[in-house]
Amino acid sequence: MTLYGPFVQAASDGRMGWLTDEFRPIPDQIRRTLDWLDARTDYTYSIWRGADPTAIDGYLKPANDSFIQAAGSADAMTVEVGFPGSDGEHHLYTVGRPEVVDGTTTLIPMSDDRAVRVFTNEIFTADEAAAIFHMFYLSEVVSAPYVLRELDLAQELSELR
């Protein structure tokens, strides 16, 4: 029985497939992919658990509603995580550092014409984001020292660039 997963990776250009350690260890693979984000042609990267890691195409369906995604560039990106809540609804959170927020925000590009506004403690480099992604890969959670700010899914979450 071949094991392909358990996690799937997807990029903004439509590339999708199993996240494997075939060419490099998982932390290095995640870091390398996040380093490709340039906010011009490559904007986003996400991973989630695939439904059937024993099938080559088992990544086509997610195993659950949990995922982690990044948008922006290697120098300035935002990281979001999605989890099902105890209320049965899906919840989306922006990851941040546990520092005092002064209200200053920055627009992080997520496509050619859209951007997401985040606080300064929610901006990460590819190195920082890779550590958060690897934590999620190992446990499907984001824990201390990071904090989560829930996003209101009833509101428009992006704006024109």
Is residue 76 helix, strand or coil?
coil
Q: What is the pLDDT of residue 1?
A: 47
Query: How confident is the model over 90-102, as pLDDT tens digits?
Result: 999 999 999 888 8
- Does the N-terminal peptide bond of residue 53 adopt cis geometry, omega within 30 degrees of 0? no
Where do runs of H (alpha helix) occur along the chain? 26-35, 126-139
Q: Beta-carbon neighbour count of residue 31 at 10 Å?
A: 19
Q: What is the CA radius of gyration of the chain?
A: 15
Q: Beta-carbon neighbour count of residue 98 at 10 Å?
A: 9
- What does pTM read for this prediction? 0.91
Phi, psi angles (nearest 5°) of residue 43 = -110, -35
* Mean pLDDT, residues 68-86 taken together: 95
Q: For residues 29 and 145, what is the distance between their CA atoms, to the nearest angstrom? A: 23
The full set of domain ranges for the chain reads: 7-160
With tokens 């990776």, the residue in question is 9
For residue 37, what is the enclosing H or E element? none
Query: How confident is the model over 101-117, as pLDDT tens digits?
Result: 888 999 999 888 889 99
Q: For residues 35 and 127, what is the distance between their CA atoms, to the nearest angstrom? A: 8
pLDDT confidence tier of residue 88, bands split at 50, 70 and 90: confident
Name the average pLDDT for the chain.
91
